[in-house]
A = this chain, B = another copy of it.
Amino acid sequence: MENKSKAIALVSGGMDSLITLAIALEQYRTALLHFLYRQRTEERELRAFHEIADYYSIDERLVSRIETLHQIGGSSLTDGAIPVADADIGSQDIPTSYVSFRNAHFLTGAVSWAEVNGVSVIFVGAVEEDSSGYPDCRREFYDAFERLIETGTKPDTKIKIITPIIHMKKKDIILKGVELGAPLHLTWSCYRRSDKACGTCESCVLRLRAFKAAGIPDPIEYEMKV
């Protein structure tokens, strides 16, 4: 175990980053990074983060707050004046839940943490096709980010961004999680609520659809019968 090299994983508390972490842990000692940005379900996501970290007995965790995204607003997740919409699966538009350049904020923090600690691998649970269509979930964004790291850090700093599930279907991500024994019951995906998942926001609908396709019951509780 101690001979494994070290990685950082961005862990939101949702399913995709959990399964990405489970994949990372097969090869790396992994430190966990979580961001609070005054999103609606901030406390619930933080609880999921810590429960996942506890499950894997990972002590090395950094929880950090990004004020900027809330100050700026413009997203239904961070701006109380914009309601969280019901899912509109199949729409080509970028949904109102889009938080501008969010993954750049998260990755930038991960790169600073990695550089200061000599870590050369960052895991991110982005999903490109079978997801909400956020631009910062596409592999070309991570390729561009790797180039940014090359140009913007010390000459001897080498950091790769690994996105192991980026081209997977949500259903297959769940099956991979089951295969790896990932604690899916500890994850939180709902954009709206923190007690029981609403079942109708985009994140809930994508999740429920994926569990259905995988033929596995979703272990978390929903407000309505799903």
A residues sitting closer than 8 Å to B (CB atoms) are: 62, 64-69, 71-74, 94, 98-105, 108-109, 111-113, 115-117, 135-136, 138, 140-141, 143-145, 147-155
Q: Please indicate the chain B residues that have their CB under 8 angstroms from the CB of A94 in the complex.
A: 154
B72/A112 in contact, CB under 8 A:
yes
Closest to A154 in B: B94
Alpha-carbon separation in the docked complex, A84 to B62 (Å): 26
Closest to A36 in B: B67
Closest to A147 in B: B144
A155/B135 in contact, CB under 8 A:
yes
Best-surrounded residue of A69, A74, A100, A116 (most CB of chain B within 10 A): A100
**Integer count of this chain's copies in the complex:** 2
Instruction: Decide yes or no: A135 and B153 within 8 Å by CB, A68-B64, A108-B101, A108-B105 being known contacts.
Output: yes
Closest to A140 in B: B151
Contact of A111 among B104, B143, B145, B150 (CB under 8 A): B104
Alpha-carbon separation in the docked complex, A149 to B140 (Å): 11
Q: What are 17 pairs between A and B in contact, CB < 8 Å?
A: A62-B71, A62-B72, A67-B67, A69-B112, A72-B112, A72-B113, A72-B116, A73-B116, A105-B108, A135-B151, A135-B152, A135-B154, A135-B155, A136-B151, A136-B153, A144-B147, A147-B147
